[in-house]
Copies of this chain bind each other. A is one copy, B any other.
Amino acid sequence: MQSLEKRITEEGIVLPGGILKVGSFLNHQLDPQLFHEMALEFHKAFGDLAVTKILTIEASGIGIASITGLVFGCKVLFAKKSRTANLSGEFYTQEVTSYTHGNSRQIIVERQFLNADDRVLVIDDFLANGAATDGLIGICSQAKAHVVGVGIAIEKAFQPGGESLRKRGIKLLSLARIESMDAEKGIVFCKD
C-alpha cells in the first residue's frame, strides 16, 4: 500500500534492536484517515469471506481493528494482556512470548464473545516473529472459530512470522512488507 509505505519512509525511525518507531501515525499517535484507507484494503482482500468478527490485541491493534470493523460492519474483539476487574466468566487464554521484550504473558478473551460460528479476521499493527498473531489464532482454535485470514499493517519480512503463516495456508495481507531496515541505510520494502 503506497500511502502507508510513504508514511513509513517519511516518519519511521529505526531504533537499535530492530525496532521500527512509527508512533506518529500507527501506535501512539494514530491517523484514523490512514486507518480507513487500510481498512478499505483489508475489505478488498477479505470482504467476500463472510467475516463475522475482527480479533486483535491491545493496545495498538485496537484503532486499526475498530475502523476495519466499521468498514466490515462487524464487531471487534480485543484480547487483553491482563485480567481486569471488569472481566468475568470463562476465558480463553494463550501464552504469548515477546521476542522483542524477552518476556512471556497470557492473553485473555472471554469465551462468550467467540464461538464456532465465528469467521474471524485477525488484525494487528505489526507482524515480526508472529508470536502475537499465533496467540490470537490459538484463541480462535480454542473457540473452534474459523480464521478467514490475517491483516497486518507492517510486516517485518526479514523475520519468520509472515512466512510461517503462508506455509500453514493462512491468507495473509500485509499492507507494507519491510525487506530490511537499518538506522543508517534506511528502510527497504519488498518489491512483490
A residues near B (Cβ < 8 Å) are 13, 15, 17, 19-25, 27-33, 35-36, 58-59, 62-67, 69-70, 73, 75-78, 80, 82, 84-88, 100-102, 109-110, 112-113
Contact = CB atoms under 8 A, between A and B. Distances in A.
A84 to B, nearest CB: 6
Given A23-B87, A59-B80, A66-B66, A75 B29 contact: yes
B110 A80 contact: no
Nearest to A18: B85
A22 to B, nearest CB: 8
Contacts of A35: 66, 70
A21 B86 contact: yes
22 contacts: A15-B86, A23-B110, A23-B113, A24-B112, A28-B87, A28-B109, A29-B77, A29-B113, A30-B66, A30-B75, A30-B76, A32-B66, A32-B67, A58-B62, A59-B59, A62-B66, A63-B78, A64-B66, A66-B67, A84-B100, A84-B101, A86-B100
Contacts of A32: 66-67, 69-70, 75-76
Nearest to A35: B66
Q: Give the 9 A-B residue pairs with the shortest CB-CB distance, closest first.
A: A63-B66, A58-B59, A32-B70, A32-B69, A62-B62, A30-B76, A59-B59, A29-B113, A29-B77
A4 B58 CA distance: 23
A157 B25 CA distance: 35
Contacts of A64: 66
